């Protein structure tokens, strides 16, 4: 069974690619503009904007509060920031964990943010890190579309795209999960949409 994979999403943002990339280089701004999941970030080694600096992120995911210690790799030419995981709760489940933000200018006022996670699971019982992709984006419509790029699912599907839509209801949330896919063969079981 394959233990490594890559999962991500693409978001269109009304902002210049340079501005967003520079914001990620200056990571101390992110908790101020991000969703409620990112609680803070501190420099552990280096500084805010230097390739190779080490930062410690504090996040909340459900009722769990965690940390993610990472070393940043900056690619100014391609406007990409890679957060190579060093320590944190994710390493209870993953041997390696790397988040990537890449910004591409679409037109004068809009850019495309490609966000993905490259990972290696500790064992085959560990799920893909879908829930961590939401930490990477400040998504106001409470909808996340994940584009499967690599992993076990591609033994059965040519393409695989789970979509999570969250709606507030009373004191809780309703999550509607749907999947867009293309099967490799007709023998593959049909996926159905689910509400939780």
Q: Domains of the chain, with CATH numbers?
A: 4-141 (3.30.530.20)
For 122-140, how does the pLDDT look when each residue is reduced to its tens digit (9 = 90+)? Answer: 999 998 888 787 777 654 4
Residue 178 pLDDT level (bands cut at 50, 70, 90)? low
Q: Which residues contact 41 (CB under 8 A, 6 or more apart)?
A: 27, 28, 30, 31, 55, 56, 57, 58
pLDDT, mean of residues 172-192: 66
pTM for the whole thing?
0.68
**Which pLDDT value is given to residue 196?**
36
């Amino acid at each position: 069974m394959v233990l490594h994979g890559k999962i991500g999403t693409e978001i269109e943002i009304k902002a210049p690619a340079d501005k967003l990339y520079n914001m990620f280089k200056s990571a101390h701004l992110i908790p101020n503009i991000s969703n409620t999941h990112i609680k803070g970030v501190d420099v552990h080694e280096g500084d805010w904007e230097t390739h190779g600096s080490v930062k410690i992120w504090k996040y909340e995911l459900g009722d769990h509060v965690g940390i993610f210690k990472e070393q940043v790799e900056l690619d100014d030419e391609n406007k990409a920031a890679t957060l190579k995981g060093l320590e944190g709760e994710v390493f209870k489940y993953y041997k390696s964990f790397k988040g990537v933000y890449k910004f591409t200018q679409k037109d004068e006022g809009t850019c495309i943010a490609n966000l993905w996670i490259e990972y290696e699971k500790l064992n085959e019982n560990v799920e893909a890190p879908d829930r961590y992709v939401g930490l990477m984006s400040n998504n106001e419509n409470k909808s996340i579309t994940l584009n499967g790029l690599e992993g076990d699912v591609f033994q059965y599907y040519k393409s695989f795209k789970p979509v999570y839509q969250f709606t507030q209801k009373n004191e809780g949330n309703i999550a509607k999960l749907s999947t867009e896919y293309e099967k490799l063969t007709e023998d593959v079981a049909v996926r159905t949409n689910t509400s939780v």
